[in-house]
Amino acid sequence: MIIDGKKVASEIYEELKKEVSNLSEKVYLKAILVGNNEDSIRYINQKKKWAEYLWIDFELFHYEENFDEQELLNKIEWLNDDKKTHWFIVQLPLPKHIDTAKVINAIKPEKDVDWFTKQNFWKLAIWDSSFLASCTPTWIMTLLEKYNIDVTWKDVVVIWRSNIVGKPLSLMMLNNSATITTCHSRTKDISYYTKKADIVCVAIWKPWFLTLDMINKNTIVIDVWFTVRDWKIYWDADFETINNNWNMITPVPGGVWAMTVAMLMQNTLKAYNIQNEK
Amino acid sequence: MIIDGKKVASEIYEELKKEVSNLSEKVYLKAILVGNNEDSIRYINQKKKWAEYLWIDFELFHYEENFDEQELLNKIEWLNDDKKTHWFIVQLPLPKHIDTAKVINAIKPEKDVDWFTKQNFWKLAIWDSSFLASCTPTWIMTLLEKYNIDVTWKDVVVIWRSNIVGKPLSLMMLNNSATITTCHSRTKDISYYTKKADIVCVAIWKPWFLTLDMINKNTIVIDVWFTVRDWKIYWDADFETINNNWNMITPVPGGVWAMTVAMLMQNTLKAYNIQNEK
């Protein structure tokens, strides 16, 4: 059975559209893109499309691959202070000559829609819900919630331990009382964990990594990434076989991006509200 | 086989004593205690004893249970600026009328020897080693290291998910490439994980919770807490039986506190060095 991320995203967009239309002030979302990474450009275009759909004012600052780190920091400082920028995104990855952590932490936490600053991470860790959470782990939690799947008491496996997905997702699951195992490239026997799991979240970027024999008949599979090789799409999980076996699974693409962008817009509104409370 | 925390702590004290004796400036460690929690007083006395052994200048500010939050914040501000305070501890737990998170985050990160501030937590999350790490998870990692137990590729179970021990320990293990399962009161079947585990860290504060039948013959047990009932000590793990069975295990008490305080002194020196680099 398919967990329909696109459908849920549509519902969220309609709710957000209503919310934005009731605001007295204009909502501004801005984005910085350095270089011409194809995935980044596609992703930025999705953000632009949906921001405009929601009547959110979207502006992109697009710089060349060799853009200077200090100039980037100056731009961030300007956006931090700009009254017509309620919040903004620095699209990752940044080129290698730029110190990503330094750039990210230059962003004011309350303008950090992508949630990478230390203050937001700390709030996540101590489960202070006023944080702006990273979009990918947030859509996973939201999707499960919309399908009435409570993670409390559940055995959950997260495959991959990135700062962007694996770690925050593990913490969110833990805060919601799931028993959480985080696996990665140095895990001896991933199947031992996935076979027991009620939910497996796979974000490993390896074609068809998670197969039917690794899970049980009730395991719900949340597949986060996919790989394109020779114009063909490979999911992290063996979608066809797992889906034919009646396990619940998210299809990618088709749902993941939609949900990620929906979460970004949701965070945008949350950031707007946090700023307006002051 | 016993993992001898007291012995390792002694070795660390001797190394630190040598390091302190080579410093040109005096090293100041200060502590704030609110109320008269018995464990806190005992713990503070340990800190004082070992600070003095290492020729670290130790000063305690001890306030009544009903001490005002704002006055506490003022004191912290004063210590943040005081040149004769290189770093200081706010002993937890604080009385209920005081907002712990607010107090902790008032401490300058570079003076936060107990490592609770958001900046230090964030550094832990992204594995920036310039953080000052929480003493309990740090001694666990140090003890394993001193016994040449590399956690890479290991299956590790952490029982309990506190902000002070469970979460940071899970992140440290993960950053060191252990496969990590974090269990708690809402875990269906802890044995499924502990039976497979190479290392089990138990910090659940429940008498004899972890028994021999829950682990395998090679499982290393790191027991963090103990409970006192009717003047009798109960460990979290069934120490006697597990030790008789030749599994490696830490005895508590006798090792845990020694290592915790040793880590505090080690962080103290680290904080001193970070400040002096500026």
- B199 domain-assigned: yes
Q: Token pair 């008949």 is at which residue?
A: A217
C-alpha distance from residue A238 to each of A160, A193, A197, A220 (Å): 17, 18, 17, 13
pLDDT at B114: 61
Q: How far is A75 from chain B (nearest CA, A)?
A: 23
Please indicate, yes or no, if residue A99 is contained in any of the structural domains.
yes
pLDDT of res. B110: 75
The predicted pLDDT at position B227 comes to: 77
Q: Does A277 map to a domain?
A: no
Same domain, B87 and B140: no
B54 and B140 share one domain: no
Domain termination residue (choose one: B76, B94, B110): B110
Report the mean per-residue pLDDT for chain B.
89
What is the tally of helices (H) and strands (E) in chain A? 10, 9
Q: What pLDDT is stored for residue B132 in this prediction?
A: 67
Token representation of residue B84: 């004769």
pLDDT band at B278 (very low <50, low <70, confident <90, very high): low
By the 10 Å C-beta count (0-12 exposed, 13-18 middle, 19+ buried), A118 is classed as buried
- A222 lies in which domain range? 135-256
CATH number of the domain encompassing residue B228: 3.40.50.720
Residue range B84-103, pLDDT digits in tens: 888 888 998 899 999 988 89
Same domain, B250 and B203: yes
Predicted confidence at residue A117, as pLDDT, reads 62
Asked if residue B200 and residue B97 are part of one domain, the reply reads no
User: Rounded distance, CA B165 to CA B115, Å?
Assistant: 12
- Alpha carbon separation from B181 to A57, A61, B75, B107 (Å, rounded): 43, 42, 40, 32
Residues B161 and B80 in one domain: no
Residue B91 DSSP label: P
pLDDT at position A231 is 80
Output the pTM of the full model.
Answer: 0.87
Cβ distance B167 to A125 less than 8 Å, yes or no, reads yes
- Residue A145 domain flag: yes
Residue B157 has pLDDT above 70, yes or no: yes
The pLDDT assigned to A114 comes to: 61
B178 and B222 both lie in a single domain? yes
pLDDT at A113: 66
Q: Are residues B105 and B167 in the same domain?
A: no
Decide: B27 and B267 in contact? Cβ < 8 Å. no
Both B27 and B104 in one domain: the answer is yes
pLDDT in tens, A262-277: 998 998 888 888 777 7
The ipTM (two decimal places) reads 0.85
Helix, strand, or coil here: B265? helix
Q: Is residue A272 part of a domain?
A: no
Q: How far is CA A14 from the centre of its chain?
A: 19
Alpha-carbon dihedral of residues B14, B19, B24, B27, nearest 10 degrees? -70
- Within a domain: residue A246? yes
Q: Is the pLDDT of residue B117 over 70?
A: no
Identify the burial level of B80 via C-beta atoms within 10 angstroms of its C-beta, where 0-12 means exposed, 13-18 middle and 19 or more buried.
middle
Instruction: Kindly state whether residues B73 and B144 are assigned to the same domain.
Output: no
Count the domains in chain B: 2
More confident residue, B214 or B260: B214
What are A's interface residues with B at a Cβ cutoff of 8 A? 101, 118-119, 121-123, 125-126, 128, 152-153, 155, 161, 163, 167, 170-171, 174, 177, 179-184, 186-189, 192-193, 196
Determine the Cα–Cα distance for residues B254 and B232; give it in Å rounded to an integer. 15
In this prediction, residue A20 has a pLDDT band, given cuts at 50, 70 and 90, of very high
Q: How far are the Cα atoms of A109, A114, A137 from residue A87, in angstroms, in the given order?
A: 9, 9, 20
Alpha-carbon span A86 to B277, nearest angstrom: 37
Q: If pLDDT is split at 50, 70 and 90, which confidence band does A235 have?
A: confident
CA distance B153 to chain A (A): 5
How far is Cα A160 from Cα B170, in angstroms, rounded to an integer? 14
Query: Measured at the alpha carbon of residue B164, what is the angle toward residues B20 and B277, in degrees to the nearest 5?
Result: 35
Q: Per-residue confidence at B225, pLDDT binned at 50, 70, 90? A: confident
User: At which of B71, B94, B110 does a domain end?
Assistant: B110
Q: Tell me: the pLDDT tens digits for B197-211?
A: 999 999 888 888 999
Cβ atoms of residues B87 and B111 within 8 Å: yes
In a shared domain, residues A87 and A192? no
Of A91, A108, A111, A236, the catalytic one is A91
CA distance A170 to chain B (A): 9
| Confidence bin at B124 (pLDDT 50/70/90) | confident
**pLDDT digit string (tens) for A246-259?**
899 997 766 677 88
In degrees, rounded to 5, the angle at the alpha carbon of residue A215 between the alpha carbons of residues A213 and A218 is 125
pLDDT higher than threshold 90 for residue B177: yes
- What CATH number is associated with residue A33? 3.40.50.10860
Is B43 inside a domain boundary?
Answer: yes
Q: Does residue B96 sit in the same domain as residue B181? A: no
Handedness of CA B32, B38, B41, B46 (dihedral sign): negative
Please check whether residue A120 lies inside any domain of the structure: no
Rg (alpha carbons) of chain B, rounded to whole number: 19
Interface test with A, best of B105, B186, B198 (most A CBs within 10 A): B186
Residues of chain A contacting B163 with CB distance shorter than 8 Å: 125-126
- Same domain for A93 and A140, yes or no, is no
**Among A89, A108, A127, residue at a domain's last position:** A108
Mean pLDDT value across residues A165-170: 90
pLDDT value at position B118? 64
Place of tokens 């017509």: A84
